[in-house]
Amino acid sequence: MDPETHLNSTPLRRRTANAAEFNAIPAHVYPQTLRRETAGEHRGEVTIAGVPLTEIAETFGTPAFVMDEEDFRTRCRRLAKAFGGGHFVHYASKAFLSKTVARWVMDEGLSLDVASLGELQVALAAGFPAERITVHGNNKSPEFLRLAVSEGAELIVVDSLQEIEALSTVVGELGKTQDVLVRVTPGVHVDTHEFIATSHEDQKFGFSLASGAAHHAAMACHTADGVRLRGLHCHVGSQVFEAAGFALAAERLLGLWKQLLDSIATLTDEHAVDPSQGVGSDAPTLLDTLDLGGGYGIAYMPDQEALDVEEVASELKSKVRKAAESAGVPEPTLNVEPGRAIAGPSMITLYRVGTVKDVEVADGISRRYISVDGGMSDNIRPALYQAEYDCRVANREVAGELLPTRIVGSHCESGDVLVNDALVPEDVRPGDLLMIGATGAYCYAMASRYNMMTRPPVVRVADGEARLMIRRETIDDVLALEE
């Protein structure tokens, strides 16, 4: 789910002033090893991890995703340090997952979120330890649940009463016990720098706090055979830069936490059983984990701010501690899901410029359309969410007057727009290389074969070397699927 579907496009607060500013790369939007060379044989060209993008285009073709391994790993380490250990930080498989990326996450000591059977299968194929995997999803199949339980997934986030019943059946058949969190909709929705403490419960995920459904679901877990209730989970927004909304969510969830402890104690007294055991259950309830979800914001545009990981982590931990004290419950273990904040800024997409044409949109006013060899099949987010991206020419410095420009793809679709409104120097021409920043999250993961334009490759770069992570899909791959 990407709550940006509910947002209007935000106009830029500041526009590109001149060609020199266009040639300057905003470091907080792009991978940390990416730069425009100022001297030597590659002067004016953009390199990443010491590799010229022109060489990557020549070797691997365009369009291509290019991922900076050092940037990715550095972001993992910052988050792990900020939250007191990698185990508490859950990488979002849905943002971008491959066996290679799963191994990087494993190497850095982080945990992993999966939201489908396929994501779980890829993680396991990479050798990722199941005991560091949390399983999400509003419609988990029996096969999905069975694999998660049999492999020993750390936590399953339950999303319906039907799922609790199905999970109890699966663990019974396998002779296992499964730890769970209950996903709660707390009536808090966070977007960037604002949060609204209103009901946001008309959605497919979770159990309503206000209606009592979340309490009922948690007690159902407490009494279900083979299911051990470990805590609560919520997701309050996307592109979050501050801890304020999380604090309100924590306050509400820990209020429910207190109610659950009271209800469990009452139920225990009524049935005169061991307090650690659920009535009718063979698995002890152990409320110790609060997962406040995510995801943390990144800068897509030069005038947007990058997330201050350390500041947000410190504030969030402090607010959870105070909320626990206020609710009169022990401070829980805090899990977080940074979402796009790791993969997003670590990747760019590299395109080749094709058709360049000027379209008169009013008397004496024209807009330039620059077509590239990819489009909505490799980045659907502008079409779906009106998402904004930054673009730069990668093979040289450009000059001339800035023209109102739209960067578009090659698909047979008028909505095939990658950058809707930019000011680009007039001498961009066919054959130039264009790069778009911050495409590591939800671009390759949501890619399609619209118009039979096959999925681009993913190239990993590190220490002056570019290597293929995922090869380019071919028409032969497509034809092989058909009987």
Catalytically active residues, by annotation: 412
Would you call the peptide bond into 52 cis, given omega within 30 degrees of 0 as the criterion?
no
b/e string for 154-190 if b means 16 or more Cβ within 10 A?
bbbbbbbeebbebbbbbbeeeeeebbbbbbbbbbbbb
Would you call the peptide bond into 280 cis, given omega within 30 degrees of 0 as the criterion?
no
Distance separating alpha carbons of residues 294 and 161, to the nearest angstrom? 24
Q: What is the CA radius of gyration of the chain?
A: 24
SS3 assignment, position 249: helix
Distance separating alpha carbons of residues 96 and 436, to the nearest angstrom? 17
Distance separating alpha carbons of residues 419 and 388, to the nearest angstrom? 6
Q: What's the full length of the chain, in residues?
A: 483
Asked whether 297 and 239 are in contact (CB, 8 A), the reply is: yes
Angle at 280 between CA 276 and CA 281, to 5 degrees: 55
Interacting residues of 364 by C-beta distance below 8 A, sequence separation 6+: none
Asked whether 436 and 348 are in contact (CB, 8 A), the reply is: yes
Q: Is the dihedral of CA 103, 105, 111, 113 positive or negative?
A: negative
